[in-house]
Structure 1
Amino acid sequence: SAIVEAIRTKGRESLQLSVQELARLAGGYALGGLDVIKDDHGLMDQHFHPFQERVARVQEAIRNANAKTGRKTLYFPMIAGRFDQIEAQMAFAKAQGCAGALIAPMLIGPDTGFHLARKYGLAVMTHPSFTGTHFHDPEHGITPAMLLGRLFRVFGADISVFPNAGGRFTFTPDECQDLARAMREPLGDVKPGFPSPAGGMTIEKIDSLVAAFGDDAVFLIGGALMRHSPDPEIGARAFITAIEQAVSGGKAAE
């Protein structure tokens, strides 16, 4: 099974950066060898972060890095807004050469983003924004595995981001394992997807992440990668080295 590494564009701090700076970071991460670079879910189409300018510049930076490395780092921009905006964003992302999109199904309607992603041939990474009230109490609602795993997968999620145990949120290890199984187990003719543990993850936790989820997962780190080094290429390489060592049974890089 292939390992997929993903990273947010500097977490919440991405809202403080110019489009040019985000593009520089994305290019550096691509040079460092990451497989997927995604927008932070707070990046939409704000006046200080116009969607088309951001997507065009970031995709161009990644394309240039790919030309140098011979790799194929992918970029998943955040898609959000009214229906007409969402469709225009999907079409623009496709035209720029993006291979996928980040969507929050409960913000835009569970089938809206998936329908448009299928229409434009884009892979889908889902974010759990606005889902917390469904499972904040075990006596209420629906389990994380059912909503973020099985239902999102049935709708069309290729990658489902969720807050891993031990991070900033309250999911238990058992809930995370149930969710991962829901993304992978046989489900009629529905293709399996990748679980993506996230939320306060660090390079130092890669050993435990690989032990818990194996190598058939998307390991997502945001702000911790920026804290590792101000040079995005160095941070990306450290991330990949940690995963490779964990998979091979070695100790993750400090």
Structure 2
Amino acid sequence: EENQYIAYVAYPLDLFEEGSVTNMFTSIVGNVFGFKALRALRLEDLRIPVAYTKTFQGPPHGIQVERDKLNKYGRPLLGCTIKPKLGLSAKNYGRAVYECLRGGLDFTKDDENVNSQPFMRWRDRFLFCVEALYKAQSETGEIKGHYLNATAGTCEEMMKRAVFARELGAPIVMHDYLTGGFTANTSLAHYCRDNGLLLHIHRAMHAVIDRQKNHGMHFRVLAKGLRMSGGDHIHAGTVVGKLEGERDITLGFVDLLRDDYIEKDRSRGIYFTQDWVSLPGVIPVASGGIHVWHMPALTEIFGDDAVLQFGGGTLGHPWGNAPGAVANRVALEACVKARNEGRDLAAEGNEIIREASKWSPELAAACEVWKEI
């Protein structure tokens, strides 16, 4: 557009504190966005030099370690956010977790605003969810996880919750990294690596910062910040579903999260070549308004190293939570099998789902519910 310019700015390395994402963002985007002389300003991308990257621990574990912990290979992982997110008692919440995991999901998730409210205090929720987890594990023979949201009002309280999750033997905790802050997030990531916990990151509040096209910063910058601060999963939009996301741009920052080395590619919004020098990768999470009919597209777009998260797409099943989970697992396995046989998921996706629904009544019922959307 007219009067729009791209500026490249370079900073000397010594201006930044080592291992502090907080200081990096304070220095780069701290004050300049408020200057009177500017009508609008947007940070599209930044290149983290190798020397600076090396001062960060990064994700607690990374993609390969997570697969080894879960013993799950060759397919995307399946998740589900427990709904209704606010209002259930801890026991009913735990029951929903059990049903979803028992039906065939790998993970269930606390919603980002489930912290410790009067109707469900965090300790009760943790206990019931971990009980559900162990029960589902023993019945399915698969390793299961529930993202226990450790986000809290103070860093000390957050760490207390993470410690309790570890004592219960939970495999994964969760944090809202933008509302919680990078300082808290980095502390939690260090604790998670030292204690064998995976860390799921929710990006609540990101759209306040990244949604305006002419002001703020692009999500890929926040994603880079997260990879440095530390997190094993992060929400990354869907390309399909209820939350916005353009395909090439989304895939651009999905690669930034997962790969060790990314070439500059302006068509995908990647302004700089980024070498992560063996910093572990982050698994992108696709969630928001997705259901079984989206499965072929999601499998094709995101590939194996992703978590596909169906909230209402699981719990909205007319027969209940467990059949909803079964429907999603069957759809996923059918898509992965078709892909491995060399079929074209983009062209034959609906046909693949229809074939699978012939022998899975749960999937057939799900296909019926979501066919119009």
TM-score tier, shorter chain, comes to over 0.9
Which of these residues, 134, 148, 171, is aligned with residue 77 of structure 1? 148
Q: CA deviation at 1:189?
A: 2.2
Which of these residues, 184, 192, 197, is aligned with residue 281 of structure 2? 192
CA distance in 2, matches of 1:193, 1:59: 24
Which of these residues, 151, 156, 162, is aligned with residue 230 of structure 2? 156
Residue 36 (structure 1) aligned with residue 110 (structure 2): no
Consecutive unaligned residues of structure 1, counting only runs of 5 or more, are none
Residue 213 (structure 1) aligned with residue 302 (structure 2): yes
Which of these residues, 316, 319, 324, is aligned with residue 227 of structure 1? 316
- Count of aligned pairs: 251
Which of these residues, 62, 65, 86, is aligned with residue 15 of structure 1? 86
Match of 2:114, as an amino acid? Answer: L
Secondary structure, counterpart of 1:21 in structure 2: helix
1:178-202 CA-partner distances (Å, limit 9, x unpaired): 1211111211121112111111111
Coordinate RMSD, CA, aligned? 1.6
Q: Tell me which structure has the larger Cα radius of gyration.
A: 2
Q: Which residue of 1 aligns with 2:241?
A: 167
Q: How does 1:48-197 map to 2 (within 5 A)?
A: 48-81=119-152, 82-120=154-192, 121=195, 122-148=197-223, 150-186=224-260, 187-197=276-286
Checking the alignment, whether the CA contact within 8 Å between 1:6 and 1:220 is kept in structure 2 is yes
Checking the alignment, whether the CA contact within 8 Å between 1:79 and 1:103 is kept in structure 2 is yes
Secondary structure, counterpart of 1:77 in structure 2: strand
Secondary structure, counterpart of 1:94 in structure 2: helix
Checking the alignment, whether the CA contact within 8 Å between 2:150 and 2:158 is kept in structure 1 is yes
Match of 1:14, as an amino acid? Answer: K
CA distance in 2, matches of 1:103, 1:176: 22
Distance 1:193-1:2 versus aligned 2 partners, 3 A rule = farther
Q: CA deviation at 1:2?
A: 4.0
Consecutive unaligned residues of structure 2, counting only runs of 5 or more, are 1-73, 261-275, 339-348, 358-366, 368-373
